[in-house]
A and B are shown apart, each in its own frame.
Chain A
């Protein structure tokens, strides 16, 4: 019956897509919604159908030069505009500039008397009028199922809906039709029967009192698409979908080192720092200085003039800045220069996956060189789920060559199962220890692992000074690893020992000198005695000779006397 001239149907080859401009969504649909065709978006109450549809239109009008028509069967135009104003959508402005038209179709509930044959040509007329008045390329019908409450003759209604969707295709507009989730089927009134090109299901599940929004592409005729359930996020920056397609291991390995911010720690690793694009886990008990070590990384990244994104889940940004200022790390200057951004959120604000969606989105927008997550242990949930979602974050950082520093609170000297799961994702693991000894608590640091580089095996003591973390010279003497005053004591003890040994040697030397002198004196005496004896012996010999000689003379004299006599 209609003589609404159908616009010449634009041939829409199956591969032409209309980008939605929604973070992540265009990735999983490989380009967006099917251009020139209707798409069904279904889901329960409050799962973001209207917002998704409105974002599609606003982005179309603002980014892709495709004006749109929003035909609302539920909310009034003013309410719609007010609801999305918080996302920064200027609906009245777009309407005034003729880029968007909102038509609120009020469906009176059973108040209309039906007296014979009718059709829904009025709806077509209104839609056609709206489309032609802004030159719309995009249309949203939200939620067309409301018609079912206004008209009792569902046979007519169904025939007209079928005609409507066909007509939309003929117009060549890219349309989103929203539908309320029904029991046992995608929509309450079976709209999926009419809209079969692309069906997207939104879901809002509550697990452990935390809701997670998820999105799934049920079907997409003529196109490849991601088939998983993707968590998505609605916050003050609109919708973003977290794609998990990047969970591959094809990221390139960068070999540039980046400083940890602590010279002593850099020196413990053969490369002189972390690898760029690697992920680093800093684990330790409470008060070991995890946050400070992470802040030092952020500080050094910003000092190089690179951007750093700091996610904190335990402190407010102000608190963080103040606390690390107490150890001489001035983050405020980097905030002022726009090199550092601190994003704070309570872990319980929403599910872990939502946090990740938000983080990945923020990383994508801020394009930092380094990311800090402080701490990952704040998240509660089944450890395999945390690992799976952490994997996405780590992969997404690696794909972008972003160095990630994650802190994890672990009870002293024990490791939870979750730690083990997370640690396998990490390239470098720095463990901070509490060393309790001699009635005091000292801090020790060691590199537990670091893939692809040789690293020191020492446990190094470090102190939180007013210049941040400082590693002390390692004490590796005979007494094992000592820290704090025990180490000072040990060093003093060793020094005393050295002195004692030196004194002892000196004493020995003097003793020896003395003994040598004594011995030499004895030798001299003995020799003197010997010489005295030799002299005596010589004298005795002389006397004996003399006596013998005298006796000879006596005998001769006697003989002479006798001879003379004879």
Chain B
């Protein structure tokens, strides 16, 4: 369920959904996590995010991790200032969470994950 781009170790996609691309369900989560290098904060954020998604969104999420040291031009698109920043592209509207995602409760609030989604 985890695939790592060998050419670019800093950009990888974690997904538990069938790779159909179209006809995603309404409660499908498309997330993008911006980091800068393999720092403690970044690594913590990646592992925290994976854990939370597996616990609450199993089977209906995609995580794209973008390392700005490799692709700095992407920072402007999502207006990234703080690192790490998690951007929820789906479901609409777009939401942002910053920090290493160590506070699970606030991550759930920030991602607007409904109570019934939680186990």
Contacts and interface: CB of A to CB of B under 8 A. Distances in A.
A119 B85 CA distance: 10
Contact of B82 (A1, A122, A129): A122
Contact of A115 (B34, B69, B72, B110): B110
Nearest to B75: A126
Interface string B31-51: 000101101110011000000
Contacts of B75: 122, 125-126, 129
Contacts of B68: 121-122, 125
B76 A1 contact: no
B97 interface: yes
Contacts of A117: 41, 44, 99-100, 102
A115 B82 contact: no
A120 interface: yes
A1 B84 CA distance: 12
A115 B41 contact: no
Contact of A1 (B41, B73, B80): B41
A498 B13 CA distance: 121
Contact of A116 (B34, B79, B81, B99): B99
A433 to B, nearest CB: 72
Contacts of B80: 122, 125-126
B111 to A, nearest CB: 8
A252 interface: no
A121 B98 contact: no
Given A1-B39, A116-B102, A128 B96 contact: no
Contacts of A112: 82, 96-98
A4 B69 contact: yes
Interface in A109-140: 111-123, 125-126, 128-129
Contacts of B58: none
Contacts of A151: 82
B103 interface: yes
Interface size class of B (residues with CB under 8 A): 20 to 34
A285 interface: no
**Residue of A116, A120, A129 with most partner-chain B CB within 10 A:** A116
Interface in A287-318: none
Nearest to B45: A116
Contacts of A4: 36, 69
Given A108-B96, A112-B97, A118 B73 contact: no
A115 B107 contact: yes
B81 A120 contact: yes
B96 A113 contact: yes
A118 B36 contact: no
A321 interface: no
A161 interface: no
Interface string A142-161: 00000100110000000000
A106 B68 CA distance: 18
Nearest to B85: A122
A10 B100 CA distance: 35
Interface of A, secondary structure class, is loop
B109 to A, nearest CB: 7
A122 B81 contact: yes
Contacts of A106: 79
A107 B82 CA distance: 11
Nearest to A108: B96
**Residue of A117, A125, A150 with most partner-chain B CB within 10 A:** A125
A105 interface: yes
A122 B34 contact: yes
Given A115-B97, A115-B107, A147 B37 contact: no
A93 B115 CA distance: 52
B89 interface: no
Contacts of A125: 36, 68-69, 72, 75, 80, 83
Contacts of A119: 41, 82-83
A3 B82 contact: no
A106 B76 CA distance: 9
B101 interface: yes
Interface string A71-83: 0000000000000
A70 to B, nearest CB: 13
A113 B100 CA distance: 11
Contacts of B81: 105, 107, 120, 122-123, 126, 147, 150
Given A4-B69, A113-B96, A113-B98, A103 B103 contact: no
A118 B83 contact: yes
Nearest to B72: A129
Contacts of B76: 103, 126
A2 interface: yes
B49 to A, nearest CB: 10
B37 A114 contact: no
B37 A1 contact: yes
Contacts of B106: 113-115
Contacts of A128: 72
A151 B41 CA distance: 18
A69 to B, nearest CB: 12
13 contacts: A3-B37, A105-B79, A115-B99, A116-B45, A116-B101, A117-B102, A118-B41, A118-B99, A122-B68, A122-B85, A125-B75, A126-B72, A128-B72
Closest 3 CB pairs of A and B: A113-B110, A129-B72, A116-B99
Interface of B: 34, 36-37, 39-41, 44-45, 68-69, 72-73, 75-76, 79-85, 95-103, 106-107, 109-110
Interface of A: 1-4, 103, 105-108, 111-123, 125-126, 128-129, 147, 150-151
